[in-house]
Amino acid sequence: MKQFNNIKGREGEELAAKYLKKHGYKILDKNYTCPIGEIDIVASIAGYLVFVEVKAREDEIFGRPSEAVDEFKQRKLYNLALMYQRTKKLADMPVRFDVVEVLDDEINHIKNAF
């Protein structure tokens, strides 16, 4: 597997998007921005609209990357998802929230993270 040392920010998001595509996801948006914030990746699979938060780190000194998706971040993503659905007229699609961790030499996809 490719080495992911020194992965940060947008590079981690690009790796996550490639990973998702490889696993059958259709990428609808990357870095969707609106007045209340940003969603890293919006994808679809099996009739679901999937909002993906990507967390990339070089090591676990501050814990697993997914641990940074705390309750505050989850609420913010939920509100961003509502805005996205309204803006894109996708309010009837079922929604899922995933987290993709990029850590050193691994990608960990946490489906239905919250």
- Say how many domains are in the chain: 1
96 assigned to some structural domain = yes
In this prediction the pTM is 0.88
The two tokens of residue 47 are 């009739």
Q: Contact, 56 vs 11, CB < 8 A?
A: yes
Range of the domain at 15: 9-110
51 assigned to some structural domain = yes
Question: Cβ neighbours of residue 54 under 8 Å, at least 6 residues apart?
Answer: 12, 13, 16, 40, 41, 99, 100, 102
24 assigned to some structural domain = yes
pLDDT digits (tens, 9 = 90+) for 23-72: 999 999 999 999 999 999 999 999 999 999 999 877 777 778 888 899 99
The two tokens of residue 88 are 């894109």
Q: How far is CA 57 from CA 11, 15, 33, in A?
A: 11, 13, 22
65 assigned to some structural domain = yes
13 assigned to some structural domain = yes
3 assigned to some structural domain = no
CATH number of the domain encompassing residue 88: 3.40.1350.10
